[in-house]
Structure 1
Amino acid sequence: MKLGLNNIPHHWIEEIVNLAGERIVVVNREGVILYINSAYCEFLGTSVDLAIGRPVEDVIENSRMHIVAKTGQKELAALHPINGSEMIANRYPLIIDGELVGAVGTVMFRNPEEWRLYQSKIQHLVEEIKYYKTKAEKIQKSKYYFKDLIGKSASFSAVKSLAERISGSQSAVLILGDSGTGKELFASAIHNNSTRASFPYVPINCASIPEHLLESELFGYDDGAFTGAKKGGKKGQFQIANRGTIFLDEIGDMPLAMQSKLLRVLQEREILPVGGQKSIAVDVRIIAATHRDLEKMVEEGKFRQDLYYRLNVIKIEIPPLRERQGDIELISMKLLEKLERKFYRKGIKLSDEVLERLNQHKWQGNVRELENVLERSINVLDGNTIEIAHLPLYLRDQETVSLPKKESDSVGKASVNAAMPVQSLKETLAHVEKQAILNALSATMGNKQEAAKLLEIGKTSFYEKCKLYDIQ
């Protein structure tokens, strides 16, 4: 028996069209209604008998069906004002045997409220699709290479050179640096310069995943591991990253319970999915990053010491932007190229005054803050040159502060009236800390172990600080 519409009674087909939830109208080349379903008529406040045979513009307010029937040009997702509201309509030319014979119109949403109701029901599904799409794109390819790391200052060049040298290693890497210094860029570049470059690069932000989901996200779960678990289980990020690199950003925010499980992965090179009975071998290089002081966290019992040493095989410390003399102009030019593409602009420049102001700023948010400043400036830019007036208020009002004079300064001494910039609290504390270390070394005749005891800090911490402040 041959199946097809001929096997379905005509009144069935009409009922099926009504049940489909769409409002449908069909017109001929002259725009006369040949068919309209009862659902559409109910919405219009008329009947099928009264509508059929009449010009469509007489039945449907602001209709364009007669236009589509003549031009043969479809109109999709068009807003159609009707009955004091707006509906979303699709209009299609009806072509039979190569000849334009009329048009078909459908209405899926009768008003914006109906569309919003529909959107709210599917929004969580859309967000889930976007999440996994973004994750898949990241897994497929690591975006940044060493050529994308911009800077020529001595401090930055030394760090970049070290990162390139250790790229080929299989050892764990710990990247330290303030927020916005580019830790993920370095991790990505290391992966792309390694023997694992053709395998997955999986970035994970440990601070952004809820604690109760972190274990299943990293290690996956077996079928039936918990209520709501996906049938058949789910692979964890370590399995997905197999033979490649996993980047654990904000490792300092990982809960202690998870730290012990991560340590097992580093030691045993295998994972145990949630609810699983059998371990799975994985070959993954770990690059971890944080802006936190992990050594201090170890001393306070907030980070496992054994995990710290496992991660701290190769340490890379990215200098903050304020310590990268001469790099701000280079980075600004690179960021402007990126922002020009975003804003469809060309030839944007920085005035000399703006460049001087950028060089004076302390950049607590580092490169991320610099990009935000430039993007804000382009948004209010009326020409091609960014001037002081285009900068955010806190940069426009940035000034140096003169120290007050004492009366005794003018007696027997030259008056001190030079303007001095106010240092940030971090810089002030760093200066005091360095001086305290130098005083302790002087008091112990250069004995670093005794100096550490004198300052009541750990030996490892003392050596790290000596390295930080370039104290021999």
Structure 2
Amino acid sequence: MMGTGDIFNHKLLDIIFESASYGTVIVDNNGKIQYMSENYCAFINITREQVIGEYVVNVIENTRMHLVVQTGKSEIGDLQFLKGNFVIANRIPIFEQNRIIGAIGTIIFRDVNEWKKMNRHIQNRLADKNLLTSNTENKGNVQYALHHLIGDSPKLVQVRELVKKVAGGKISVLIRGESGTGKEIIAQSIHRLSERSDQPFIKVNCASIPEQLLESELFGYEEGTFTGAKKGGRKGKFQIADGGTIFLDEIGDMPQQMQSKLLRVLQEQEIEPIGASFPKKIDVRIIAATNRPLEELIKEGRFREDLFYRINALQLFLPSLRERREDIPLLIDHFIEKYSSEVGKRMTMIEEDVYTILRHYHWPGNIRELENVIEACVYLAENGHLTINCLPDYIQSHETSNQPKSLKEMMEDHERTVIKKTLIKVNYDREEAAKALGIGNSTIYDKIKKYKLFH
């Protein structure tokens, strides 16, 4: 038997384990308890004096510590039903000269919800550092993560923080914003940061599916329902999304008859395929998006008020590009880098007037329009020079005089131009540029980062 003093005494073990986990137990090679932390004792409502020397099976329900000392195999992140809840535990055998002398078990999460919170926290941290990968092989073919929402304006930062807060759980989210602002990026980011991230993400464009086909597309049908029906029937989008997320894009364009059926799905959490005798239970999170004024449609009797309140548990507003003009230079540089790589061109010079004109254009098509413009510019650029002549005629002729720059904008434009010209002159030697401009090295690095002047 492994004695309590053979490795550590209880006082030292308490110092190590009381704050390191939610509960620690050590057994000898016979499965008898040699140590149990005070927080573990409190969790199972027993005193340490009562458990030392006792067979672990008689003290801890559903334990596997006695099996670990027999098999010598670690059990990491295992679910164990304890005190009316599932805890997450690690069990690791202790070896001395290739001989099992005992095992140590720790409770790392007291319930599954704690693990979910930690998982969400880790995903948020990964999103902050742009480390969440876009795995196109997952069930929902999710392509976007939060870092695809380019910009650091206050409004966009606020949107990102809200996405992180609402990602967990099952609350319905209504994303509102003009066309081309990135509503699908937000929907996929919520799914990716949720506990449903390994389940399907299914998108339905409510405006693009003909009304007569929408019901079968959403809810599916049984075999033999109509002439030409697929053998064995067909699952609808809601069944495919079961366990995951369904994204109802352009929900403001959904026909009224389908609005009634969708309301029932949301209320009852069940669907009824066409031709089915009985409804089928589903577990789906709803994320909807629209650029339509739903409140006005309700007044006109074109959108159900009760459905509006069902999908509108939480609203998330995406600002238009006009409302976050300070992000336009970042977006320009991002799209130039993206399409330069695709086309195989290297942009060595971007005319400063390009930034000026694009920053003050009104962008009715938002980010989607800006991306299309930059893609065309990259194709039209000659000798790696992107000039105003590459811009579409309708943007070149756009009057910017009715949108005068603020003093801050003028100063930033001038500073950006001066720093960029200096960097080009010294072949992007940052220390030389700092010296030529009479500023510190740390300052030039900050300015290069601020104005995205990477070479």
Q: TM-score, normalised by structure 2?
A: 0.57
Partner of 1:327: 327
Cα RMSD, aligned residues only: 1.6
Q: Structure 2: how far apart are the matches of 1:189 and 1:384?
A: 35
* SS of 2:325 mapped into structure 1: coil
* SS of 1:326 mapped into structure 2: helix
Whose radius of gyration is greater, 1 or 2? 1
Q: What is the CA-CA distance between 1:138 and the residue it aligns to?
A: 7.9
Q: 1:392 to 1:279 in 2, by over 3 A?
A: same
Deviation digits for residues 279-311 of structure 1 (CA, Å, limit 9, x no counterpart):
111100010001000111111100000000000
Assess if the C-alpha contact under 8 Å between 1:272 and 1:278 holds in 2.
yes
Deviation digits for residues 405-458 of structure 1 (CA, Å, limit 9, x no counterpart):
xxxxxxxxxxxxxx5349xxxxxxxxxxxxxxxxxxxxxxxxxxxxxxxxxxxx
Alignment of 1:147-162 (within 5 A): 147-162=147-162
Partner of 1:420: 402
Q: Structure 1: how far apart are the matches of 2:350 and 2:321?
A: 18
Matched, 1:370 2:352: no
Q: 1:397 to 1:138 in 2, by over 3 A?
A: farther
Q: 1:252 to 1:348 in 2, by over 3 A?
A: farther
Question: Structure 2, unaligned stretches of length 5 or more?
Answer: 1-135, 405-455
Q: 1:238 to 1:153 in 2, by over 3 A?
A: same
Q: What is the CA-CA distance between 1:342 and the residue it aligns to?
A: 2.5
Partner of 2:163: 163
Q: Structure 2: how far apart are the matches of 1:366 and 1:303?
A: 26
Assess if the C-alpha contact under 8 Å between 2:138 and 2:198 holds in 1.
no
Q: Structure 1: how far apart are the matches of 2:346 and 2:253?
A: 41
Partner of 2:346: 346
Assess if the C-alpha contact under 8 Å between 1:170 and 1:285 holds in 2.
yes
Matched, 1:272 2:254: no
Q: Kindly provide the amino acid, as one letter, of the partner of residue 232 in structure 1.
A: G
Partner of 1:293: 293
Partner of 2:308: 308
Alignment of 1:356-367 (within 5 A): 356-367=356-367
* SS of 1:174 mapped into structure 2: strand
Identity over aligned residues, as a percent? 49
Assess if the C-alpha contact under 8 Å between 2:222 and 2:276 holds in 1.
yes
Q: What is the CA-CA distance between 1:171 and the residue it aligns to?
A: 0.7
Q: Structure 1: how far apart are the matches of 2:243 and 2:348?
A: 43
Assess if the C-alpha contact under 8 Å between 1:201 and 1:246 holds in 2.
yes
Q: What is the CA-CA distance between 1:381 and the residue it aligns to?
A: 1.3
Q: Structure 2: how far apart are the matches of 1:274 and 1:342?
A: 45
Partner of 1:259: 259
Higher mean C-alpha deviation, range 331-340 or range 240-249: 331-340
Partner of 2:392: 392
Deviation digits for residues 365-420 of structure 1 (CA, Å, limit 9, x no counterpart):
000000111111122111223111110001111224xxxxxxxxxxxxxxxxxx53
Partner of 1:194: 194
Q: Kindly provide the amino acid, as one letter, of the partner of residue 145 in structure 2.
A: Y
Aligned residues: 269
Q: Kindly provide the amino acid, as one letter, of the partner of residue 314 in structure 2.
A: I
Assess if the C-alpha contact under 8 Å between 1:349 and 1:385 holds in 2.
yes
Deviation digits for residues 153-203 of structure 1 (CA, Å, limit 9, x no counterpart):
111111121111111131110000000000001001110000100000011
Alignment of 1:226-237 (within 5 A): 226-237=226-237
Assess if the C-alpha contact under 8 Å between 1:138 and 1:201 holds in 2.
no
Q: Structure 2: how far apart are the matches of 1:355 and 1:206?
A: 36
Deviation digits for residues 207-233 of structure 1 (CA, Å, limit 9, x no counterpart):
111111111011000001111110110
Q: Kindly provide the amino acid, as one letter, of the partner of residue 275 in structure 1.
A: G
* SS of 1:188 mapped into structure 2: helix
